[in-house]
Amino acid sequence: MSEKKIPYKIYLEEQEMPTAWYNLRADMKNKPAPLLNPGTHQPMTAEELGGVFCEELVKQELDNDTAYFDIPEDIRNFYKMYRPSPLVRAYCLEEKLKTPAKIYYKFEGNNTSGSHKLNSAIAQAYYAKKQGLKGVTTETGAGQWGTALSMACSYLGLDCKVYMVKCSYEQKPFRREVMRTYGASVTPSPSMETEVGKKILAEHPGTTGSLGCAISEAVEKAVTNEGYRYVLGSVLNQVLLHQSVIGLETKTALDKYGIKPDVIIGCAGGGSNLGGLIAPFMGEKLRGEADYRFIAVEPASCPSLTRGVYAYDFCDTGMVCPLAKMYTLGSDFIPSANHAGGLRYHGMSSILSQLYDDGLMEAVSVKQTDVFEAAEYFARVEGILPAPESSHAIRAAIDEAVKCRETGEEKTILFGLTGTGYFDMVAYEKFHDGQMDDYIPTDEELAKYREMLPKID
């Protein structure tokens, strides 16, 4: 098909939307390591996990073999309100960069939560509702996940209790109010509402909180309240499964025009958008049907893949969650307060960790001022105001495209544009005022947290 026929936006028809999620684990030779019970260090059973998570989600979490899970009709209908999401050919960006590369991005910011997180939020809320639960608890850092979950819960009539990292609660009052608009209750974490919150506050008075700490509180709230379960917006296998809708749509759209990407790039916090975007492409690579380069982009201030270790670690600060084997900086690691760009989690999805360890995926880290420079450049050229998280991928995509300009290679670059940055204007403001710096942890600092990893044989 000739180049000219590729439109600026490749949309799919409703009937072309995926009807099943793709489970990448089914095609992995080396499966991701199982979650372990923090007490016994034995793999978590479905029964144990069922105390924390919804039944159906536990099944999805533990299933390394079933390649496709049907998307229930109710979820497909909800998806139709904001999906399919556009796949954009970045003609303007290509022209501005004077690159022979062809650049595409899958834009997930076209819903009120402003990110891809709604794709999993609706699935998790749906299974909670189906199980007859009263509500769900969760944590949120920057607020996108909490917003997505409150939207999904209000749609289904479920109670939604969100523990929001205290510094975000204070710095992002608008996010908080969006959640409350959708009926969620939002508590700054650490709080005095939970035992683990009280303990953390006693040990670290005045702490502004962390994701790991908010997770502990949300889990405690769920397991001590009848009719509640805990839900998580990233990292877990089930979340990557739901997010495969991003990659499946992308693949269908590209296939329509016979386009094959050479490089696929995504930002990586807990790994859910990247895992979802690359899923069907990585599946082809694992089955030996095609080859692609995959690049995970993480912040230099929270570099779990590029500078972490592959080991079992706690998922939370309070150590109430199961242990996960992942590339991690240690569950006590908290990125510098100067870090404004999101992607602050200390660990990485077990699936992506295994793929990275097997050499199937690359990773790079980028400094936050470089990220915001790319964000602003992109906003001025392509019009979309990107989320700081998404802008990590933009940075890496631009760098790849510039390399193509130097070598003359006509590569096809695909990246995930996970969301919009309207609620991140304080970070943009810092950047514009020259107040943003690039804090990068030293080796000594990282070693200190590494020593605190649990010892598992």
Ligand X SMILES: *Cc1c(COP(=O)(O)O)cnc(C)c1O
**Interface with ligand X by CB under 6 A: which residues?**
115, 117, 144, 234, 267-273, 343, 387, 389-390, 418-419
Query: Which C-beta is closer to ligand X: that of 243 or that of 252?
Result: 243
**150 and 173 Cβ atoms separated by less than 8 Å:** no
Q: How far is the CB of 28 from ligand X (least distance, A)?
A: 19
Distance CA 417, CA 87 (A): 10
Distance CA 227, CA 288 (A): 45
Q: How far is the CB of 342 from ligand X (least distance, A)?
A: 6
Q: How far is the CB of 144 from ligand X (least distance, A)?
A: 3
Which residue in the block uniquely carries the two structure tokens 């490749």? 10
The burial of 370, by beta-carbon neighbours within 10 Å (0-12 exposed, 13-18 middle, 19 or more buried), is given as middle
Distance CA 79, CA 118 (A): 9
Q: How far is the CB of 279 from ligand X (least distance, A)?
A: 13
Query: Which C-beta is closer to ligand X: that of 271 or that of 441?
Result: 271
- Which residues does residue 412 pair with via DSSP β-bridges, in sequence order? 102
Q: How far is the CB of 205 from ligand X (least distance, A)?
A: 29
Terminus-to-terminus CA distance in the chain, angstroms? 55
Query: Which C-beta is closer to ligand X: that of 86 or that of 419?
Result: 419
- Which residues does residue 356 pair with via DSSP β-bridges, in sequence order? none
Query: Which C-beta is closer to ligand X: that of 237 or that of 272?
Result: 272
Distance CA 186, CA 417 (A): 27
Q: How far is the CB of 455 from ligand X (least distance, A)?
A: 28
- Cα angle 181, 429, 445 (rounded to 5 degrees) comes to 95
**162 and 136 Cβ atoms separated by less than 8 Å:** no
Query: Which C-beta is closer to ligand X: that of 275 or that of 318?
Result: 275
Q: How far is the CB of 328 from ligand X (least distance, A)?
A: 14
| CB neighbourhood size of 415 (10 A) | 29
Of all residues in this chain, which one has the CB nearest to ligand X in the complex?
A: 419
Tell how many helices (H) and how many strands (E) occur in the chain.
Answer: 18, 15
Q: Which long-range contacts link 279-283 to residues 24+ away (Cβ below 8 Å)?
A: 279/22, 279/24, 279/240, 279/243, 279/244, 279/247, 279/248, 280/22, 280/244, 280/247, 280/248, 280/250, 280/251, 281/247, 281/251, 282/24, 282/27, 282/355, 282/360, 282/361, 283/22, 283/24, 283/27
Query: Which C-beta is closer to ligand X: that of 133 or that of 387?
Result: 387
**133 and 228 Cβ atoms separated by less than 8 Å:** yes
Q: How far is the CB of 298 from ligand X (least distance, A)?
A: 9
Query: Which C-beta is closer to ligand X: that of 270 or that of 335?
Result: 270
DSSP codes, 162-189: EEEEHHHHHH-HHHHHHHHHTT-EEEEE
Q: How far is the CB of 428 from ligand X (least distance, A)?
A: 14
Q: How far is the CB of 223 from ligand X (least distance, A)?
A: 23
Query: Which C-beta is closer to ligand X: that of 139 or that of 389?
Result: 389
Distance CA 399, CA 378 (A): 13
- Indicate the helix (H) or strand (E) that contains 414: strand 412-417
User: Torsion over CA of 159, 165, 170 and 176, rounded to 10 degrees?
Assistant: -30
Q: How far is the CB of 266 from ligand X (least distance, A)?
A: 7
Query: Which C-beta is closer to ligand X: that of 34 or that of 109?
Result: 109
> What is the torsional sign of CA 62, 68, 73, 74?
positive
Query: Which C-beta is closer to ligand X: that of 144 or that of 301?
Result: 144
Distance CA 189, CA 215 (A): 9
Query: Which C-beta is closer to ligand X: that of 53 or that of 259?
Result: 53
